[in-house]
Amino acid sequence: MPTVAADRQPASRGAIPATRRRSRLIGERLNFQIGLILPSVLVLLLFQVVPIFIGTDASFRRWTLYDPDKTWVGLEHYRYVLSDTNFLFTVLPNTFLLMVGSVGLSLALGMAVALLLHRGFAAQRLVQTVVLLPLMIGPVIASTMMRWTFNDQFGVVNAFLGWLGLGQPAWLADRWYAFGVIVFTDVWIWTPWFGLLLLAGLKSLPKEPFEAAALDAAGRWRTFTHITVPMLRPVIGVCVVIRAIDCFRTFDQVWLLTGGGPARSTEVFSIYVYMEAFQNLNFARGSAAAVIGTLIIMVAGLALYALINRFMDVSR
Amino acid sequence: MSLASTAQSSPRRTRLFDFLQPGARAAFTAIAVTAVVVLFLAPIIILVVTSLRPGWGVYYIYRGTEFTLANYVEVFQRSVVVEAFINSFLLSTVATILSLGVTVTSGYMLSRFKGWLPKTWFTSIYVFRTVPYISWVLPLYIVNESLGLYDTFFGILAAHVAVHVCFFSWIMKGFFDGIDPSMEYAAMIDGCTRWGAFRRVALPAAGPAIAALGILSWLWTWNEFLFALILTGNRTPLLTVTMAQFVTELGTEWNLMSAMAVMAMIPAVIITLFAQKYVIQGLRI
């Protein structure tokens, strides 16, 4: 055998006679690994990493029609975004409020749905099908139907409230009512996701602890809080982290339900970036906001990940 | 919880749910099931009913008996709607095939190898998954525009393949983790190359799981809105954006919009009804 590619690995295993053969094998192995991930890496580099660099570069420049040279302005856009009261006191609180509200409520409701489906009853498959539907039809159609359901003049919700003799609020014209509808829509879409994953978790739990609890005459609530929840912690943790991180980039629901209105009061992070870039036509400022948001969610995501890791360790 | 019934013979304190036993327990289940079904089904039914109302009848959704299919006919007389359906169908299909093809080897690599390279790759995947879509789609718009790809099929296709790289690699790793690698070792001892062991042994074994993910991927692309909004315009109309434009252009023509929404919902309903098992399998993290 010729000694091709033998030097690629450091000669740390020099003492072993079969070095050459072995390191060739390792080299081959590495090449195989690189070959396997190459398509993914290329796609990721070309269509995500490169754009992110271009966007970051743009965020330091003046990006308007009257400035074709795209003059370097340093941190000007960052200074603008970070001193924008709308961004600081409306957009960011909205984003995190949506995250907490949506994840918390859909976790609670999803747990209820999972427990219900786990009971076993007639027509269970039918109910499971119904529960799966919101997740499948997606945010766009869901938001459209919610917008119609909560229509202030002709919507079913207000018709029902009128029939009950209650007030009929203009749902999408008031900041907190509109925000409530957004949270409700998001919960409507994502409860099934929590429900199905938690149901799978419930099904995989061992039976013995429940039998032991039943013998010890533990009530339902105690069985739930002391056995079901602790044993489901890993599933709950993973679900919450994934959903919370994804919730940060919510766009469709807000855009289609309120468009960020009334008066930009229900804007969340993605909507703010979009508005700056395409509505106010300041691409650089939008990019700066996008970079800031990315950094925020990365830090929050890592913190959340660490927190959940600890939370899950405690249960073991 | 279902085991509580076995505990009825054992002595215990009276609790809140005890007076619901045992006949009332069924009633409780029935009420809860009804609530869940109403919560998740009612908005869909309202949408379907609205789509079957004549234009003047949608506002009286809670009374009247007039039903019509004219909305569907009217919607499909618009060429942009037909075009949007065709484009979305093609995009979903091609994007699904490409993203599965690109990520399947990556997931396999993450599952089967250890060392600095898989570790680095997995960390990058985790980090890039947290990046909000708008943060890279916004500059991708500039890239596409300068390359002449804005509002073309390829421009939006690239975004849809890229968005799935991280998540699918992660999920595919889970699929391959569930497959015993000893068969691949056996194949390699029998003379298979590493690639052969992957293609002839591991890939067929992961087939059903990959198909399940494919179904979900198709549906996610079909339902996607943000990329379509930013990266396409009038030349490449896509379903979701065309539907959203219905609202703003025509103001109150809810009957037409509902008809289009119902048509757009059909793949999701079909998949939910007939491929539920696969969907649930594909949703596993």
Q: Is residue A259 part of a domain?
A: yes
**In A, residues 8-37, which contact B (CB 8 Å cutoff)?**
29-30, 32-37
The CATH number assigned to the domain holding B246 equals: 1.10.3720.10
Q: What is the pLDDT of residue B63?
A: 61
Which residue among A51, A116, A256 places its CB closest to the CB of B140? Answer: A51
Give the CB-side neighbour count of residue A314, counting CA atoms within 13 A.
10
CB contact at 8 A, B63 and A150: no
Same structural domain for residues A108 and A201? yes
Closest residue of chain A to B115, computed from CA coordinates:
A30
For residue A295, what pLDDT band results from cuts at 50, 70 and 90?
Answer: very high
Same structural domain for residues A104 and A207? yes
The answer to whether A244 faces chain B, any CB pair under 8 Å, is: no
Q: How far is A15 from chain B (nearest CA, A)?
A: 22
Same structural domain for residues A206 and A301? yes
The answer to whether A161 faces chain B, any CB pair under 8 Å, is: no
The answer to whether B195 faces chain A, any CB pair under 8 Å, is: yes
Statement: residue B61 has pLDDT above 60: no
CB contact at 8 A, A285 and A77: yes
Which residue among A39, A219, A270 places its CB closest to the CB of B15? Answer: A219
A143-174 pLDDT, tens per residue? 988 988 888 777 888 888 888 888 778 888 88
Q: How far is A280 from chain B (nearest CA, A)?
A: 14
Q: What is the pTM of this model?
A: 0.86
Query: Looking at beta carbons, which residues of chain B come within 8 Å of A196?
Result: 280, 283
The answer to whether A277 faces chain B, any CB pair under 8 Å, is: yes
Closest residue of chain A to B58, computed from CA coordinates:
A154
Query: Looking at beta carbons, which residues of chain B come within 8 Å of A50?
Result: 143
Same structural domain for residues B189 and B270? yes
Q: How many domains does chain B have?
A: 2
Closest residue of chain A to B242, computed from CA coordinates:
A140
Question: Does the distance separating the beta carbons of A48 and B131 come in below 8 Å?
Answer: yes
| Domain's final residue, options B26, B45, B72 | B72
Same structural domain for residues B237 and B157? yes
Same structural domain for residues A49 and A94? no
B109-151 pLDDT, tens per residue? 998 888 888 889 988 888 888 899 999 999 999 888 888 888 8
Interface test with B, best of A136, A188, A193 (most B CBs within 10 A): A136
Structure tokens at A222: 């105690």
The mean pLDDT of B243-250, rounded to a whole number, is 67
Q: Is residue A152 part of a domain?
A: yes
Q: CA–CA separation, A302 vs A63, rounded Å?
A: 32
Which residue among B165, B261, B279 places its CB closest to the CB of A144? Answer: B261
Same structural domain for residues B22 and B134? no
Cβ atoms within 10 Å of B234's Cβ, excluding its own = 8
Statement: residue A102 has pLDDT above 70: yes
Same structural domain for residues A263 and A222? yes
Same structural domain for residues A38 and A103? no
The answer to whether A83 faces chain B, any CB pair under 8 Å, is: no
Question: Does the distance separating the beta carbons of B10 and A217 come in below 8 Å?
Answer: yes
Same structural domain for residues B79 and B36? no
| Domain's final residue, options B19, B45, B72 | B72
The mean pLDDT of B181-209, rounded to a whole number, is 86
The answer to whether A196 faces chain B, any CB pair under 8 Å, is: yes
Q: CA–CA separation, A177 vs A267, rounded Å?
A: 14
The CATH number assigned to the domain holding A198 equals: 1.10.3720.10
Instruction: Name the percent of chain A lying above pLDDT 90.
Output: 31
Q: Is residue A66 part of a domain?
A: no
Q: Is residue A67 part of a domain?
A: no
Question: Does the distance separating the beta carbons of B247 and A220 come in below 8 Å?
Answer: no
Instruction: Specify the range with the lowest mean pLDDT, choosing from A20-34, A95-109, A297-311, B206-220.
Output: A20-34
Same structural domain for residues A17 and A123? no
Domain assignment of residue A13, given as a range: 6-58
Same structural domain for residues B141 and B273? yes
Same structural domain for residues B264 and B163? yes
The answer to whether B131 faces chain A, any CB pair under 8 Å, is: yes
HEC readout, B62-107: CCCCCCCCHHHHHHHCCHHHHHHHHHHHHHHHHHHHHHHHHHHHHH
Same structural domain for residues B63 and B21? yes
Same structural domain for residues A179 and A129? yes
Same structural domain for residues B102 and B62? no
Q: CA–CA separation, B48 vs B257, rounded Å?
A: 11
Statement: residue A1 has pLDDT above 50: no
Same structural domain for residues B37 and B103? no
Same structural domain for residues A53 and A106? no
Query: Looking at beta carbons, which residues of chain B come within 8 Å of A131?
Result: 36, 40
Question: Does the distance separating the beta carbons of A270 and B226 come in below 8 Å?
Answer: yes
Q: Is residue A97 part of a domain?
A: yes
Higher pLDDT, A180 or A216: A180
Question: Does the distance separating the beta carbons of B134 and A251 come in below 8 Å?
Answer: yes
| Domain's final residue, options A35, A58, A81 | A58
Q: Which residue do the tokens 């939370």 mark?
A: A311
CB contact at 8 A, B141 and B150: yes
Alpha helical stretches, state H, chain B:
23-51, 70-76, 79-112, 116-130, 133-147, 153-177, 182-189, 194-197, 203-223, 226-231, 239-250, 254-274, 276-283
Same structural domain for residues B111 and B246? yes
Structure tokens at A88: 């600081």
Same structural domain for residues B135 and B270? yes
The answer to whether A316 faces chain B, any CB pair under 8 Å, is: no
Statement: residue A120 has pLDDT above 80: no
Statement: residue A305 has pLDDT above 50: yes
Same structural domain for residues A44 and A135? no
Q: How many domains does chain A have?
A: 2
For residue B18, what pLDDT band results from cuts at 50, 70 and 90?
Answer: low
B200-230 pLDDT, tens per residue? 888 898 888 898 899 999 999 999 999 999 9
Task: For residue B223, give the 3-state DSSP assignment.
Answer: helix
Q: What is the pLDDT of residue B221?
A: 93
| Domain's final residue, options B53, B72, B91 | B72
Closest residue of chain B to A194, computed from CA coordinates:
B283
Domain assignment of residue B13, given as a range: 2-72
Query: Looking at beta carbons, which residues of chain B come within 8 Å of A58?
Result: 139, 142
CB contact at 8 A, A135 and A185: no
Which residue among A30, A54, A211 places its CB closest to the CB of B3? Answer: A211
Query: Looking at beta carbons, which residues of chain A come within 8 Å of B41?
Result: 130, 133
For residue A280, what pLDDT band results from cuts at 50, 70 and 90?
Answer: confident
Same structural domain for residues A49 and A111? no
Q: CA–CA separation, B260 vs B253, rounded Å?
A: 11
The answer to whether A96 faces chain B, any CB pair under 8 Å, is: no
Q: How many residues does chain A have?
A: 316
Same structural domain for residues B177 and B279? yes
Q: Is residue A74 part of a domain?
A: no
Q: Is residue A68 part of a domain?
A: no
Q: CA–CA separation, B91 vs B83, rounded Å?
A: 12
Which residue among A41, A129, A148 places its CB closest to the CB of B272? Answer: A129
For residue A12, what pLDDT band results from cuts at 50, 70 and 90?
Answer: very low
Question: Does the distance separating the beta carbons of B4 and A47 come in below 8 Å?
Answer: no
Q: How far is B167 from chain A (nearest CA, A)?
A: 11
